[in-house]
Amino acid sequence: MRRMTLSMMLSLAAGVALAAPPANSEWPKGIDPATLLPNTDPEPDLGHAGFVDLFNGEDLSGWSVQGGAMAFEAKDGVVVGTCVKGEANGFLCTDKTYSDFVFTAEFRWEVLGNSGVMFRAGMRDQGNTEAKRVFGYQSEMDQNERRWTGGIYGEAMGGWKYPLSKPEGHAAARAAIEDHSAWNRMTILADGPVMKTWINGVPCSHLINEERSEGIIGLQVHGGPKGTVNWRNIRIKELNAFTDLFADGTFAKWSAANGTDVGSKWSIEDGVAHFSEKGAGSIVTRDPYKDFELTFDWKISKGGNSGVKYRTHRNLGPEYQILDDANNQNGKKPLFTAGSLYDLVGAPGDKPLRPAGEWNTSRIVARGTLLEHWLNGVKIVQIDQDTDDWQQRFEKSKYRDLENFGAGAGPILLQEHGDEAWYRNVRIRDLTSR
């Protein structure tokens, strides 16, 4: 029996007669659709005051044309890009570079043709021309039957990074554009190694990739026989930078849990905060945090136990468990293992945990009522505090008699539990305005 291709499935879903299958597979080389992470996040708030216009509506000040000599012009508050037959891919590029941001723009086709929006892109010399070759991530604008608009392509950087190739998982994303000639909206989030896209508010891509961390924004007109694309309301909001909580090699941003200065049993050497003696005491940040992203590296001694607590009140709050699962008795208790939201949500048994004495990289995201724990690039815990699931777990936990547990702003706490532990690259940023 002939295997049904993605285009055949889409055609059946749309009630369109099936055409002959393409000669070549639509699955990009080297991409296993099963490995593509789902984007389950809502589109970022585009009404926030932090957005600025990248296009003044009158001319192309702040932009330059690179690559092939495609025609770009400002017309009636719109950027118009037109394909010039015989030219290579052309890009209208910002003069400024961007690292972490939310980008949004509206687009429509006057004449169908391949296009896209470059981000974190670079430029390199090409032959004897002054125009540069643009390379980097591209949020695809795909007018073809497969409808991969919002997928992420590596322009001159290895090809597809995130195609919309899951027959079920990406069906809504592929259907996000009903009319290519109407105005549609693209939103891109670039946040550290995490990149996500939305089309008309529908989640599309979720890529974790560290090939590039900053670069220009570029509006592409792809080489080909034809194509005219319009863009308007081109805006960007740069995200808050991370603060290194041990940046100056001191405990200036910390105090002991009782409010006094950090004791001598804690030390910082070569950027690593460490306590080696029982009785060192837990330490807390001097500043409180409510909505934040915290990243940190940690390692634990054999059989060791520690933790990172947040939104703390009287030194109690949700806890990211730090543990040697293999040699500590808590490693046999699902709610107490490494990476778990202690006593509330257990981390999965197949999490990518490195053993005692080796560094792990963790991430905590607390935004509103949503809490996330990550371990070595994988999300291992997610729960919404405004759900029956949370309430049932909370009522069974040791915290059940505490009012406003995990709500409001509070310090970050590094727990001393009697076992030797190390922390480095402890970095935080406020998410309140996002």
**C-alpha triplet 425, 205, 104: angle, nearest 5°:** 85
How much is the pLDDT for 434?
Answer: 54
**DSSP category for residue 34:** G
Strand boundaries in 301-391, DSSP class E: 305-309, 319-323, 360-367, 370-375, 378-384
Average pLDDT over residues 263-267: 94
Q: Any alpha helices (H) in 42-192, and if so which ranges? A: 171-174
Smallest CA-to-CA distance from 84 within 224, 190, 204 is with 224
Homologous superfamily, domain 243-430: Exo-inulinase; domain 1 (2.60.120.560)
What does the block give as tokens for 282? 């837990």
CA 98 – CA 78 distance, rounded (Å): 22
How much is the pLDDT for 24?
Answer: 35
DSSP lists the bridge partners of residue 345 as 341
Q: Contact, 68 vs 223, CB < 8 A?
A: yes
Phi, psi of 350 (to 5 degrees): -95, 20
Half-sphere CA count of 104, side-chain side, radius 13 A: 20
Query: Is it the case that residue 297 has pLDDT exceeding 50?
Result: yes
> CB pairs under 8 A, 24+ apart, for 24-33?
26/146, 26/165, 27/163, 27/165, 28/159, 28/160, 28/163, 28/165, 29/159, 30/159, 31/160, 31/163, 31/165, 33/163, 33/165, 33/166, 33/169
Q: Contact, 304 vs 326, CB < 8 A?
A: no
Q: What's the distance, Cα to Cα, between the start and end of the chain in Å?
A: 50
* Beta-sheet pairing, 413-415 with 305-309: antiparallel
Q: Contact, 263 vs 282, CB < 8 A?
A: no
Query: Is it the case that residue 7 has pLDDT exceeding 70?
Result: no
Distances (CA, A) of 355 to 46, 88, 160, 301: 42, 51, 34, 9
DSSP lists the bridge partners of residue 73 as 80
Worst-scoring range by mean pLDDT, 97-106, 128-137, 146-155, 418-427? Answer: 128-137
Provide the 3-class DSSP secondary structure of residue 36.
Answer: coil
User: DSSP for 158-192?
Assistant: TEEEE----TTTTHHHHTS-S-TTS-EEEEEEEET
CATH code 2.60.120.560 region(s) in the chain: 35-238, 243-430
What does the block give as tokens for 361? 């990289």
Specify the CATH number for 35-238; select among 2.60.220.30, 2.60.40.10, 2.60.120.560, 2.60.120.330: 2.60.120.560
How much is the pLDDT for 15?
Answer: 32
Average pLDDT over residues 131-140: 92
Worst-scoring range by mean pLDDT, 15-19, 51-55, 77-81, 203-207? Answer: 15-19
Worst-scoring range by mean pLDDT, 121-130, 171-180, 352-361, 396-405? Answer: 121-130
What does the block give as tokens for 237? 């909001």
60 pLDDT band, cuts 50/70/90, is very high
Average pLDDT over residues 402-431: 94
| Amino acid letter, 271 | G
Half-sphere CA count of 156, side-chain side, radius 13 A: 20
Distances (CA, A) of 426 to 88, 109, 267, 293, 295: 45, 46, 14, 11, 6
13 pLDDT band, cuts 50/70/90, is very low
Q: What is the mean pLDDT of the chain?
A: 90
Average pLDDT over residues 374-387: 94
Q: pTM above 0.85?
A: no
Neighbours of 408 (CB within 10 A): 11
Give per-residue pLDDT as tens, 15-48.
Answer: 333 233 333 345 677 788 888 999 999 999 998 7
Phi, psi of 127 (to 5 degrees): 60, -140
